[in-house]
């Protein structure tokens, strides 16, 4: 008889045998008879919560290091389970994601221009990048154009596919304000190396910069933005479809630009810095 079966055999209302006597006869500790196994759902929620906390602190952790950390924390999990949960939760370590930035060998690549550049003013450097958002039936893809100095999201677009068009839409919206960056930085994905995209930048008199291959941290400001978008918006909601994702992301980016206080901006908003209403503190 297993321990669980012995506990199940206890009869609290037995007319002749006290619970103490029953426990002794069955070899069950008295404290054990009050034990109730934690429901599987509750364990799963605790594990997911811990994974979110680990990823928030270390967004470069893949499933192997996540598994190691969870085991150190006392969660008996294997890599296969952690990988499945990370996929379901939309957690992906910061590194160049497959199929988001696929290079085209025929497209011209541009050098990275920002190694020694100090970002000191709005419209000095803009950048663009792509991330994915899990939906109940597949994924949608999100791109932004961002000003590096103020961290303001100048434009964005969401799409069901990874064609160049949705990146061009975001670029045109940013340029339609009448402002221009001195340098525009992207990765070497085919959306950004296409003649349609680079030609539009050249026509606007913008210098083009591209991250080195495999160097995700060349565009670290946008990577940090993706972390904020995922943790402060996407992970808190479950978009039912692309239309809902666009609607809710629109609300989020309006709040992000106009209301959200940024510590590295001296607790100002991106719009306040971008429009010159406040200056960033020295250093």
Q: Name the nearest CA neighbour of 109 among 197, 222, 180.
A: 197
With residue 147 as reference, give the H or E element that holds it: strand 138-147
Q: Are 94 and 129 in contact (CB under 8 A)?
A: no
Q: Name the nearest CA neighbour of 47 among 106, 17, 14, 89.
A: 89
Q: Per residue, what are the HEC states of 242-279? A: HHHHHHHHHHHHHHHHHCCCEHHHCCECHHHHHCCCCC
Q: pLDDT tens digits for 206-250?
A: 999 998 655 555 578 888 899 899 989 998 888 999 999 999 999
Q: Are 119 and 148 in contact (CB under 8 A)?
A: yes
Cα separation, 127 vs 234, whole angstroms: 22
Give the count of alpha carbons within 13 A of 179, CB side only: 17
If you search the block for the tokens 């920002």, which residue do you land on? 114
Q: What is the pLDDT of residue 96?
A: 46
More confident of the two residues 24 and 147? 147
Q: Name the nearest CA neighbour of 96 among 221, 219, 234.
A: 219
Rounded to 5°, angle at Cα 271 from 266 and 274: 85
Least confident of 102-111, 158-167, 186-195, 206-215: 102-111
CB atoms under 10 Å from CB of 174, counted, come to 22
Q: pLDDT tens digits for 94-119?
A: 654 545 555 556 778 899 899 888 99
Cα separation, 124 vs 148, whole angstroms: 8
Q: What is the pLDDT of residue 23?
A: 80
With residue 125 as reference, give the H or E element that holds it: strand 125-135
Q: What is the pLDDT of residue 216?
A: 52
If you search the block for the tokens 């000003």, which residue do you land on? 147
Q: Name the nearest CA neighbour of 151 among 13, 270, 17.
A: 270
Residue 40 clears pLDDT 50, i.e. is over it: yes
For 23, 31, 50, the CA distances from 27, given in Å and listed in that order, are 6, 12, 36
Q: What is the pLDDT of residue 39?
A: 61
Sheet containing 138-147: order of strands: 153-159, 138-147, 125-135, 183-186, 207-210
Q: 147: Cβ–Cβ under 8 A, 6 or more apart, which residues?
A: 122, 123, 125, 126, 154, 181, 270, 274
């Amino acid at each position: 008889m297993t321990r669980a079966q012995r506990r199940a055999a206890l009869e609290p209302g037995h007319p002749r045998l006290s619970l103490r006597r029953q426990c002794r006869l069955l070899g069950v500790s008295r404290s054990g008879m009050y034990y109730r196994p934690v429901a599987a759902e509750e364990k799963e929620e605790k594990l997911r919560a811990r994974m979110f906390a680990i990823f928030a602190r270390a967004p470069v952790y893949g499933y192997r290091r996540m598994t190691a950390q969870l085991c150190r924390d006392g969660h008996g999990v294997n890599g296969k389970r952690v990988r499945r949960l990370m996929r379901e939760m939309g957690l992906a370590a910061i590194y160049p994601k497959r199929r988001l930035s696929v290079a085209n060998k025929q497209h011209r690549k541009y050098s990275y221009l920002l190694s020694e550049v100090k970002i000191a003013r709005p419209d000095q450097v803009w950048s663009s990048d792509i991330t994915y958002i899990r939906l109940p039936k597949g994924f949608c893809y999100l791109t932004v154009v961002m000003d590096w100095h103020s961290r303001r999201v100048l434009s964005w677009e969401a799409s069901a596919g990874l064609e160049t068009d949705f990146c061009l839409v975001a670029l045109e919206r940013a340029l339609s304000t009448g402002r221009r960056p001195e340098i525009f930085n992207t990765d070497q994905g085919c959306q950004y190396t296409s003649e349609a995209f680079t030609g539009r930048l050249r026509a606007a008199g913008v210098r083009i910069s591209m991250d080195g291959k495999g160097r995700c941290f060349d565009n670290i400001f946008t990577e940090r933005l993706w972390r904020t978008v995922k943790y402060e918006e996407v992970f808190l909601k479950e978009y039912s479809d692309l239309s809902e994702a666009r609607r809710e992301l629109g609300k989020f980016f309006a709040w992000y630009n106009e209301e959200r206080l940024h510590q590295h901006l001296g607790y100002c908003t991106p719009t306040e810095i971008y429009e010159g209403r406040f200056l960033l503190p020295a250093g």
